[in-house]
Amino acid sequence: MSKVMQELRQVAVTRYVTPLREGGSLPAIAEGDDGFLYVLKFRGAGQGVKSLIAELIGGEIARLLGLRVPEIVFASLDAAFGRSEPDEEIQDLLKASVGLNLGLHYLQGSITFDPVVNQVDSLTASRIVWLDALLTNVDRTVRNTNMLVWNKELWLIDHGAALYFHHSWDGWEEMAVRPFAPVKDHVLLPMASRLEEVDADFRAVLTPELIRQVVGMVPDAWLTTRTTGTTTGTWTESPEEVRRVYSEFLIRRLQHSATFINEALHARKAIV
């Protein structure tokens, strides 16, 4: 049965609750006009909109593949928001983030995944390692697992470090078919004993059309070259062309999945 993508909801940020200072880009817990709390990722932070693009694409692909990801929403920030914020660093960030940002539903009461305490079955581990190798996500290590346990279930968060090819746009065709060497540091690699099985399953699910649908969710506002506050856009192409590159990067990577699977199998053999 073919999967159907659902449009992301949009909320207006009504209240800045507290910064999450453990995050390098200074995300925050904020309240939306729907009454829910969100972990807000700001377009004015260090990596700018590219981190938001990676978060959106990575999170929605994970969801398509049956992995648990908090709901992702577009979060609009009004120019008047944050004027009374006493922290100058936060105030500057809010000013630089007016417009469309990204929010993830806040999993209140969740705890950080600990590989020593929390057990993960081999199939789930293999699915997550496969996903991160596809996305070239360098940020799921023992030092920073970017996974939460909520209601006794494993949830994936923070895909902002994925798709790192977009920080050096030239040569994306070659980068699409490269192995993913950082997989050797993946926190779940020791448990990922079913990678080849998962590869066959996920290749059947994740069609080029679905990839294009996910990438199509990225708004024009994030794909237009401009300078806002401390962040500078780097694209000279049209939004349509930028989306085409993201889609083709992932489609080519999927077509050459044997390359990153073999890299992961080799890395796992060295540590198990």
pLDDT tens-digit series, residues 89-140: 888 899 999 999 999 999 999 999 999 999 999 999 999 999 999 999 999 9
| Owning domain of residue 121 | 10-271
Does residue 4 belong to any structural domain of this protein?
A: no
- As a whole number, the mean pLDDT across the chain is 92
Q: Is 12 a residue whose pLDDT tops 50? A: yes
Q: What's the pLDDT at 228?
A: 41
pTM for the whole structure: 0.94
The strands making up 153-156's β-sheet, listed across from edge to edge, are 111-112, 147-150, 153-156
Q: What's the pLDDT at 6?
A: 78
Across the strands, what pairs with 153?
Answer: 150
At residue 44 the predicted structure's pLDDT band, cuts being 50, 70 and 90, is: very high
Place of tokens 């929010």: 103
Give the chain's domain count: 1
Question: Do 260 and 180 touch, CB atoms closer than 8 A?
Answer: yes
Chain center to CA of 172: 19
The amino acid at residue 150 is W
Q: What are phi and psi of 141, to 5 degrees?
A: -115, 175
At residue 173 the predicted structure's pLDDT band, cuts being 50, 70 and 90, is: very high
Does residue 235 belong to any structural domain of this protein?
A: yes
Q: What's the pLDDT at 24?
A: 61
Q: Is 181 a residue whose pLDDT tops 80? A: yes
> Stretch 6-31: mean pLDDT, rounded?
87
Does residue 184 belong to any structural domain of this protein?
A: yes
Q: What's the pLDDT at 236?
A: 84
**67-90 residue pLDDT tens:** 999 999 999 999 888 777 788 888
Place of tokens 């950080």: 112
**20-42 residue pLDDT tens:** 876 567 899 999 999 999 999 99
What are 28's two structure tokens? 């925050």
Does residue 3 belong to any structural domain of this protein?
A: no
What are 113's two structure tokens? 């995944």
Q: What's the pLDDT at 272?
A: 83
Q: What's the pLDDT at 3?
A: 58
Q: What's the pLDDT at 5?
A: 64
- Which H or E element spans position 73? strand 72-77
Does residue 5 belong to any structural domain of this protein?
A: no
Q: For the chain, how far is it from start to end, CA to CA, in angstroms? A: 37
> Stretch 244-260: mean pLDDT, rounded?
98
Compute the distance between CA of residue 272 and CA of residue 36 in angstroms, rounded to an integer: 43
Compute the distance between CA of residue 144 and CA of residue 187 in angstroms, rounded to an integer: 9
At residue 65 the predicted structure's pLDDT band, cuts being 50, 70 and 90, is: very high
Q: What's the pLDDT at 1?
A: 37
